[in-house]
Amino acid sequence: MPDNPLKKVLIITYYWPPSAGSGVQRWLKFAKYLPEFGWEPVIFTPENPDFELKDEGLQKEINPSLEVIKFPIWEPYALFRKLKNEPLKDTSKVLEKSKKSLLDKLGIWIRANLIIPDPRVYWVKPSVEYLESFLHRNQIDAIITTGPPHSLHLIGKSLKKKTGIAWFADFRDPWSQWEFLDTLPMTDLVRRRHQRLENEVLNEADAVATISPTFQQDLEKLAGKPIHLLTNGFDPDDLPKEYKNVGSDQNHLEILYTGVIDAIRNPIPFLSAFQEAFEHDSREVKLRFVGKVSENVRSYLGSNTWLKEHVILEGYVNHSKVFSFYEKAHLLLLILTDTKNAQGNIPGKLFEYMATGRSIIALGDPRGDSAQIIQKAMAGYVFKHEDHRSITSFLQNFKVSIDTVQHQNLNEYSRKSLTQKLAQILDEIQNPLS
């Protein structure tokens, strides 16, 4: 712990425990380690956010001394569900529907063209008013905003203008170039407004970071200035002290996928290769999905007798329980997006995958950022989604090992090392002349 008094940083984030996902863990872990590098975090987050997946176990990782300010938010999703008389919170399913109702189409059009940049924009003005008063009463040395939702960057922009406090903007996804926007029926005028707002954030923030080299390069072209790279990572404290050997029985193979399966993460090419590799094989094989799986994939599995017997859907589990599944697995499956932003797609779980020491098979761009990380760490292999023959051959020839592998160059992805980089950036923008 530093001898000097800690400087304070206000972190403005929509996603915070009990919300689940990599976006939550990113800033939960930064908040955990920042005091070791001279910064005391203060969290500002919605009191009543609208999200479906929750992980109550993450609340245990919040230091009791951490100041967390929860401020009310109004979001239009509740009104939309009331009009449709639907209690479910998973609004993403509306976009995935093959047959959309007139009300669905109207809601999507309104979201695309009237709610800019996103449905959390209604939190901006009241948050700025509250935080301006808070900042006058408290000594805060820097402000961090993290998006998406990118409307949170508008809070940082206003506070920077009103207070002059150093501001750091964290882009976990692109903004104007985000593939999600391409799924919306957005007019050219609205698209230009997104670009203008993004440009203002990039220009006015004292520092900007993103999660992958590709996104970093793209933002540097837009901003005309250097952008910091702060990947996601793994926390050694989350890992068991020692993984049990899963055995070297070549007649038994368990493959594990953790995380979301949705419209842009398609496991069907792998499922096809998995079946071809093992349908007439005497080995006992299981493919286990831990996490939320789309209805389309559930339907595909349900229509195939062999896959129904060999694919297990565990459903969503708390993050802490995922590690017990890693322990039983011989091979970890990573399914990357096959979309516009695919090259810069680095799922947060990749770093945990590597930290387990298990081998990885990934479907994605062999030249993408995730592939570069896997190859550098000698952690596994990446195949194109459509390379059915190579995927099948890899599975047929995969040999179960009794030992885990010590993958290379992992320390740079530890949450503590990444937090040290973040603290150095905060030091630079908070005292630029030192």
Note the pLDDT of residue 248: 57
pLDDT above 90 coverage of the chain, percent: 71
Note the pLDDT of residue 90: 47
Q: In which residue are the tokens 């993460």 written?
A: 265
- Work out the average pLDDT over 381-408: 83
Is it the case that residue 320 has pLDDT exceeding 90?
Answer: no
Contact 271, 424 (CB under 8 A): no
N-to-C CA span, the chain = 21
pLDDT tens, 273-299?
999 999 998 889 999 999 999 999 999
Is it the case that residue 95 has pLDDT exceeding 60?
Answer: no
Tell me the three state secondary structure of residue 281. coil
Contact 152, 12 (CB under 8 A): yes
Angle of CA points 67, 147, 141, to nearest 5°: 45
- Work out the average pLDDT over 411-424: 96
Is it the case that residue 142 has pLDDT exceeding 50?
Answer: yes
The answer to whether the Cα torsion of 337, 286, 96, 15 is positive or negative is: negative
Contacts of 61 by beta carbon, 8 Å cutoff, 6+ apart: 17, 28, 32
- pTM, two decimals, is 0.91
- Work out the average pLDDT over 234-245: 78
pLDDT tens, 6-24?
999 999 999 999 998 888 9
Closest C-alpha to 391, from 369, 366, 361, 365: 361
What is the average pLDDT score of the chain? Answer: 90
Q: Comparing 75 with 333, which gets the higher pLDDT?
A: 333
Range in 93-97, 175-179, 192-196 the model is least confident about: 93-97
Residue-range domains of the chain with CATH: 7-76+115-233+414-430 (3.40.50.2000), 236-411 (3.40.50.2000)
